[in-house]
């Protein structure tokens, strides 16, 4: 039994090291994550630059928590399936903004220390003769315009960032 447990532990350690680019997740990060999300199981750890990213599900929703190597929590992103799932104030602002006719690529809630934001990633592509769906964009050979729109909980558009 001890041998099976040891092999399982080694296998998990190897997987964790592979998923984080060969570096184990620092103890400070693991402790910080466990303190913030005590009953959550991490599906995988990723690393981007010097940031450790815990990928997990909470309430059947995919979330990603970002940490610095010293264990400092940076942010948590939560996937949102559709604009209609945003708070009413954000929905209203979205429907009134200049981007509301664009294709919605992604919607997320982003929690940062002391604040919560909603991010809508949109894409638009001009093509003579109409506006084909995103499945045809690469076939047309024209790069689309892409923005991330940041809203606060009251629906104010805080900033727009061009992605390309």
For residue 21, name the pLDDT band (cuts at 50, 70, 90).
Answer: low
Percent of the chain with pLDDT over 90: 67
Each residue's pLDDT tens digit, 53-80: 999 999 899 999 999 999 999 999 999 9
| DSSP letter for each residue of 40-71 | --EEEEEEETTEEEEEEEETTEEEEEEE-TTS
Q: Is the pLDDT of residue 121 over 90?
A: yes
- The per-residue pLDDT for 140 is 55
- The per-residue pLDDT for 144 is 76
Percent of the chain with pLDDT over 70: 75
Domain ranges of the chain: 2-73, 81-162
- The per-residue pLDDT for 9 is 43
pTM as predicted? 0.76
Looking at domain 81-162, which of 3.10.450.360, 3.10.20.90, 1.10.10.10, 2.60.40.10 is its CATH number? 3.10.450.360
Please return the burial class of 14, using the count of CB atoms within 10 Å of its CB with bins 0-12, 13-18 and 19+: exposed
Q: Judge if 2-73 and 81-162 fold alike in CATH terms.
A: yes
CATH 3.10.450.360 fits 2-73, yes or no: yes
CA dist 118 and 107 (Å) reads 7
Q: Looking at residues 28-57, what average pLDDT do you find?
A: 95
Q: Is the pLDDT of residue 6 over 50?
A: no
Which tops the pLDDT comparison, 125 or 48?
48
Which tops the pLDDT comparison, 134 or 17?
134
Nearest by Cα to 12 from 37, 32, 42, 36: 42
- The per-residue pLDDT for 145 is 87
Residue 103, CA atoms < 13 Å, CB-side half-sphere? 15
């Amino acid at each position: 039994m001890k041998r099976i447990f040891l092999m399982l532990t080694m296998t998990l350690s190897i997987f964790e090291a592979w998923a984080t680019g060969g570096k184990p997740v620092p103890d400070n990060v693991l402790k910080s994550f466990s303190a913030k999300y005590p009953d959550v199981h991490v599906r995988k750890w990723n690393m981007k630059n010097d940031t450790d990213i815990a990928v997990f599900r909470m309430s059947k929703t995919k979330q990603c928590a970002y940490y610095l190597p010293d264990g400092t929590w940076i942010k948590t992103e939560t996937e949102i399936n559709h604009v209609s799932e945003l708070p009413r104030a954000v929905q209203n602002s979205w429907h009134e903004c200049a981007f509301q006719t664009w294709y919605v690529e992604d919607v997320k809630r982003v929690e940062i220390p002391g604040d919560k934001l909603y991010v809508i990633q949109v894409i638009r592509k001009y093509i003579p003769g109409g506006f084909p769906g995103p499945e045809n964009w690469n076939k047309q050979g024209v790069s689309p315009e892409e923005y991330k729109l940041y809203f606060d909980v009251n629906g104010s558009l805080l900033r727009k960032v061009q992605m390309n």
